[in-house]
A and B are shown apart, each in its own frame.
Chain A
Amino acid sequence: MAGESGGECNRTNVFVVSARKRTMQKLAKKTGESLLFAVASFVAVIVLFIFYFVARDAVPFFQIRGFSEFFTSSNWYPADDPAQFGALAIIYGSLMVTLGSALIAVPMGVAAAICLSDILPFSIRQYAKPVIEMLAAIPSVAFGFFALVVLAPLLQNNGGPMLMWAWWILVSPFMLLAVIVLSDLLTTKITEPKRREQLHIFFLIFFGLLSVLFLFKVGTVLYGIQILTGTNALTVSIILSFMALPTIVSVSEDSLQAVGRDIREGSYALGATRAETIIKTVLPAGSSGILAAVILGIMRALGETMVVWMASGNSSQIPEPWFNYLQSIRTLTATIAGDMGEADQVTGSARFHVLFAMGLLLLVISFVSNLVSERIVVRQRKILSGQ
């Protein structure tokens, strides 16, 4: 009995050298894994630290000055005595350029994403992708320099004609399309072919003339506009939109790719054209992912510093009238970047802390929108995978 068990013992000992070594191995594995975990949780620690340290320097401002002035007044005179810290105009400026860039970037970005995922053949897609990546790679300060040195003087000197040409080039194709569709829709009910043909041509000419007149009228109005300063909200919006585009394109393309082939093929089988398939089935299925892409792209524009600092004109005012994109504005990020150098000397004063309050505002907005977009993507993935 004893001999037998001893033999068994010997046999297992061939594989496990000693109990001590085994515990050592286990211990090593455990420490290794916990070390890895420690490194991985480093990111979370940093996020907590960022929130803590920005908030730590932001809270004193609200303790000293309260909330109402910061959010409701637009008198920004931090260096005066007594100082005024009304950031409304600055917050408004940030929102304005963000909205402006979204207006340009979202339609373009979604169209480009659709094009990349559904329309272009693979051979061309290969060349289109690096273009988008290069656009994403160009440093923001290079965009800012371009805006300040090339685009702003161009807009200031030839603002009216440039606006007119942009209006003609961008809007006239859509006008033409609208005329064709409208005249078609108005004549579909008529059954007699000859009359229908005549009416169709009449409508085409009628709406065509109307739209040319409209284009021309608005064009001449735009031509007469004098842009007093090239460093304005429009310049910044244009540049920011091109910086936000790569994010919007790549995230919404991912979401469109996640929409399965079966949905597309079902739609084609029902006789829909490619455009109808995309608009009526693919886009609704991928809409939440596109929303996430839009949120991420907008955040890129809101958080951008160098372009707005260099090319927005940095004047703390709400434009007159409020939608006038041709006036200088000032944004949160540019204020932080520009004022920190002077406020740094007076650490502990409201002037220093107000900048951290702005940083906290940016941080909270970016945190919330990130969480929202992440939730949206997760939900879409669940729905599409049929769970």
Chain B
Amino acid sequence: MNIGTRKILDRSFTAVGIGSIVVMAVALMIVVVPIITNGIGAVFFTGTVEHRKMLFSEFKRGDSENLSSEVASSERYRAKVYGMLTGFEAELETMAPEKKAEYKTKYSEVRTALQALLGPLPGDQEPMLTRFKYGQTRWEKAEEKLHDLLYESKWDNSNPEVMAKEYFVSRAIGFEGTSLVKLFPYVKDNLDKMLLPEFTVYWGFITDSSVDSHFFGGIWPEIQGTFFLAIGAMLFAFPLGVVAAVYFTEYAKPGFLNSMLRSANSTLAGVPSIVFGMFGLAFFINTLKVSESKSVIAGALTLAIMILPTIIRAAEEAILAVPKTYREASLSLGSTKWNTIATVILPAALPGILTGGVISLGRAAGETAPIIFTAAVSVGSAIGLADVLSSPTPALSWNIYNLASEHEAAAQIRHVQYGMVLALVSIVLMLNLSAIVLRARISKKLKG
């Protein structure tokens, strides 16, 4: 091979390596950026008067005078819509029977679309579910619903070779020649006056509990549940892990028993997370009966087992990184081995141990599979500290899955899901970032 080709090969080899790191960074961005941009939308968004109505009646928040004047002004514009509806209903009665039946189905579709947009119409029964008590609380959703009102969605199946295509037909055409045809341009032009959109900052998303399975309200029960589980797991795993690490680094003598224990540690680190969940169900709940069924304590114990190997490894590394001179100085002053460990080595290794602890805390907060069978419920309110022994809790990780895959209206509450993912990711990444910063400071300190 000539030297030029070898050079090109060398360069391209470098390029492949750098390229794969760049791809990883880009992948990280691709995953994180939509989560952040959409997740922020859960707190900062353009809220409508329906949102303020909902806040006032569900959470007793907001200025009642201001709200009633807003409602009055929006009702003024809505009244015309309601008038058109009653006018058309009267017109329906005068039509020929077959024509009447045709228009009736079309009209009921329009009514449903209007209910979704503006909330219950006059003459409707008081809805059972809270989600039907209010119109669209978010402006971008309201615009989607406006589109549903103006256009009928149809599927084009004419070509069997390709997938069916969706296309839209204006509803106004269907009502040509009746009094209702005026409704569509009116709603389109006056929607902002009927819903009064205004920029809203809803911090309650973090501190409120949810209303009607996350249609309205916030995610506090999930955040709290995540904290309970993660901190509970740390309470069990951290002391155990540090003590085990002290044993491995200071007392263990090389031999069969020691290598067995180490193998056990790495085996535990490699067990799939779902198997931890099964073990938690079979052992903590079905055998030990720490609680009747799922509970925070069972979940925390399961998570503790899962993060134990990580903590042990991190603590071991931190203890081994303490310079030998510290130990020798302490021993030469006449202190015992245990004294040396407790007063010299552990304090010196503490930042490193904490780094491992913080990373494990993040892992415990983010993990889903171990808590599916042991601690998580999909709907629930925030539990008190006394209930951790007996009751299950909603948790961010589980509820993200639940809302995205099992919720009956998953597509309608995307902003809640994104908000939850952002909350979880920012908790975990914040913990990890602080660990990275902590470690950088330690390595600086050790260098002197």
Contact = CB atoms under 8 A, between A and B. Distances in A.
Q: Do A and B come from one complex?
A: yes
Interface of A: 29, 32-33, 36-37, 39-44, 46-47, 49-50, 53-54, 56-57, 107-109, 111-112, 114-116, 119-120, 128, 130-135, 137-146, 148-150, 173, 177, 180-181, 184-185, 188, 226, 228, 242, 245, 249, 273-276, 278-279, 296, 299, 302-306, 309-310, 333, 336-337, 340-341, 344, 347, 355-356, 359, 362-363, 366-367, 369-371, 374
A148 B21 contact: no
B401 interface: yes
Contacts of B7: 273
25 contacts: A43-B261, A43-B264, A43-B265, A44-B261, A49-B283, A54-B275, A54-B279, A57-B282, A107-B20, A111-B19, A137-B366, A137-B428, A143-B31, A144-B404, A145-B417, A177-B12, A274-B13, A275-B10, A305-B272, A306-B369, A309-B401, A340-B281, A344-B373, A359-B278, A369-B270
Contacts of A336: 274, 277-278
Contact of A310 (B261, B404, B424): B404
A-B interface, 3 closest residue pairs, ranked by CB to CB distance from nearest: A303-B272, A139-B366, A115-B17
A245 B2 CA distance: 35
B221 interface: no
B271 A43 contact: no
A347 B287 CA distance: 13
A185 B1 contact: yes
Interface string B259-275: 01101111111111111
A148 B274 CA distance: 20
A133 B435 CA distance: 11
A149 to B, nearest CB: 6
Interface of B: 1-2, 5-10, 12-21, 23-25, 27-28, 31-32, 34-35, 162-163, 240, 243-244, 246-248, 251-252, 260-261, 263-279, 281-283, 286-287, 305, 308-309, 312, 338, 359, 362-363, 365-369, 372-373, 397-398, 400-401, 404-405, 414, 417, 421, 424-425, 428-429, 432, 436
A325 B17 CA distance: 27
Contact of B14 (A42, A119, A131, A149): A119
Nearest to A377: B266
Nearest to B293: A344
B1 A39 contact: no
Contact of A53 (B31, B273, B287): B287
B5 A180 contact: yes
Nearest to A227: B163
Most buried by B among A116, A184, A249: A184
B353 to A, nearest CB: 15
Contacts of B248: 40
B405 to A, nearest CB: 6
B231 to A, nearest CB: 17
A173 B404 CA distance: 39
B274 A134 contact: no
Given A42-B244, A43-B312, A333 B274 contact: yes
A22 to B, nearest CB: 13
B10 A131 contact: no
A185 B270 CA distance: 46
Contacts of B425: 138-139, 142
B55 to A, nearest CB: 27
A275 B34 contact: no
B362 A54 contact: no
Nearest to A188: B1
A338 B246 CA distance: 40
A333 B369 contact: yes
A275 B338 contact: no
Given A47-B267, A146-B31, A188-B2, A141 B436 contact: no
A274 B31 CA distance: 34
Most buried by B among A40, A132, A275, A344: A40
A109 B17 CA distance: 9
Contact of A135 (B24, B283, B368, B414): B24
Contact of B246 (A36, A299, A359, A367): A36
B373 A362 contact: no
A149 B31 CA distance: 11
B297 to A, nearest CB: 17
A29 B251 CA distance: 11
